[in-house]
Amino acid sequence: MKCSYCNHEIIRNLNFWELLVPQKMKEWELCHACRQKFTFQGQVSNCSGCQKPMTKPGLCGDCQFWRSFYPQLEFQQKSLFVYDAAFSEWLKEYKILGNYQLRHTFTKEVEGHLKKYRKENFLICPLPLSKKRYQERGFNQVSSFLTAAEIPITELLKRRETAPQSLKNRQERLAMPQPFKLKAAPEKIKGKKILLVDDVYTTGRTMYYAAVLLQSAGPQQILGFSLAR
Ligand SMILES: [Zn+2]
Ligand SMILES: [Zn+2]
């Protein structure tokens, strides 16, 4: 077995399930050294609405803002990791340099985290790229890490052409106009539970636009998940 990030051979004892049911053995996992690089959520105290690292418990300023801006929307999101230098370096290699192999890096963690949503029949909806961005990158980095973890996805949204968010500062991000349109018919959304998925949660602007648009079609619940916050 090779590490899903650094590609080094992993040598470890098999656990009970892997010995009993060899099919349970995952093809991809992080080696000990690579796992140590990332900060898992839960290692630091964070916001109850979006998991932004904070010094004291409660809601962060961003969540307080969104809740007063969209009082009709009950939305919260969870992340696997804290967005720090190690995560940013991984994301750069995957998304910007286009190392498609890295879609497998967090397969085990993503699968584990999404298990409960799948049990509750959530539609798992990756945030889409615009046509142009998709052509430039060659893959949707969000759909790709989900599919690598064998998570079935449902594409409910389309994205218009806008300047890339990563080049914007905080103010510009917040001023961005609604980038999404519904792709699915509203009947496919009505009464459903939806989990929106993105790679990184920054200001919340993108995720809230997606949530507000879907809300207009009357789903039962909308939650969010991102790799890092
Ligand atoms: Zn490694
Ligand atoms: Zn928050």
Average pLDDT on 69-93 reads: 97
- Going by C-beta distance under 8 Å and a sequence separation of 6 or more, which residues neighbour residue 16? none
Distance 183 CA to ligand 1 centre (A): 38
Per the rule left: phi > 0, alpha: psi between -120 and 50, beta: everything else, 31 is beta
Residue position matching structure tokens 């995957």:
94
Tell me, in angstroms, the distance from the centre of ligand 1 to residue 9's CA: 8
Nearest ligand, measured from the Cα of 57: 2
CA of 67 to the centre of ligand 2 (A): 10
pLDDT in tens, 121-161: 999 999 999 999 999 999 999 999 999 999 999 999 999 98
How far apart are the C-alpha atoms of 121 and 116, rounded to whole Å? 9
Nearest ligand, CA of residue 48? 2
CA of 71 to the centre of ligand 1 (A): 43
pLDDT confidence bin for 13, thresholds 50/70/90: confident
Torsion angle in degrees (nearest 10) through CA of 218, 76, 113, 11:
150
Residue 59: per-residue pLDDT: 95
Where residue 23 falls among pLDDT bands split at 50, 70, 90? confident
- The rounded Å distance from CA 33 to ligand 1 centre is 6
- Structure confidence at residue 18 (pLDDT): 78
Token pair for 48? 């109850």
Ligand 2 geometric centre to CA of 90 (Å): 23
* Angle between helix 107-119 and helix 141-148 axes, rounded to 10 deg: 80
Kindly identify the ligand whose nearest atom is closest to the C-alpha of 102: 1
* Rounded distance from Cα 7 to ligand 1 centre (Å): 6
- Residue 204 CA, ligand 1 centroid: distance in Å: 30
Contact 75, 223 (CB under 8 A): yes
Higher pLDDT, 38 or 20: 38
Distance, in Å, from the CA atom of 89 to the CA atom of 228, rounded to the nearest integer, reads 12
| The pLDDT value given to residue 192 | 98
Mean pLDDT of 148-176: 88
Q: How far is the CA of 123 from the centre of ligand 1 (A)?
A: 32
DSSP 32-93: HHHHHHS-BTTSS-B-TTT--B-SSSS--HHHHHHHHH-TT----EEEEE---HHHHHHHII
Tokens 């890339």 correspond to what residue? Answer: 164
Does pLDDT of 167 surpass 80?
A: no
Residue 126, both tokens: 């990756």
Q: How far is the CA of 1 from the centre of ligand 1 (A)?
A: 11
Q: Which ligand is nearest to the CA of 37?
A: 1
Q: What percent of the chain has pLDDT over 90?
A: 79
Residue 22 has pLDDT above 90, yes or no: no
- What is the Å distance from ligand 2's center to 78 Cα? 10
Give DSSP secondary structure letters for 174-200: HH----EEE-S-GGGTTT-EEEEEEEE
Please state, in angstroms and rounded to a whole number, the distance separating the CA atoms of residues 208 and 224: 9
For residue 226, how far is its CA from the centre of ligand 2 (angstroms)? 13
- Rounded mean pLDDT, 199-207: 95
- CA 84, CA 38: separation in Å to the nearest integer? 8
Residue 171: band (very low, low, confident or very high) from pLDDT cuts 50, 70, 90? confident
C-alpha to C-alpha distance for 111 and 27, rounded to whole angstroms: 13
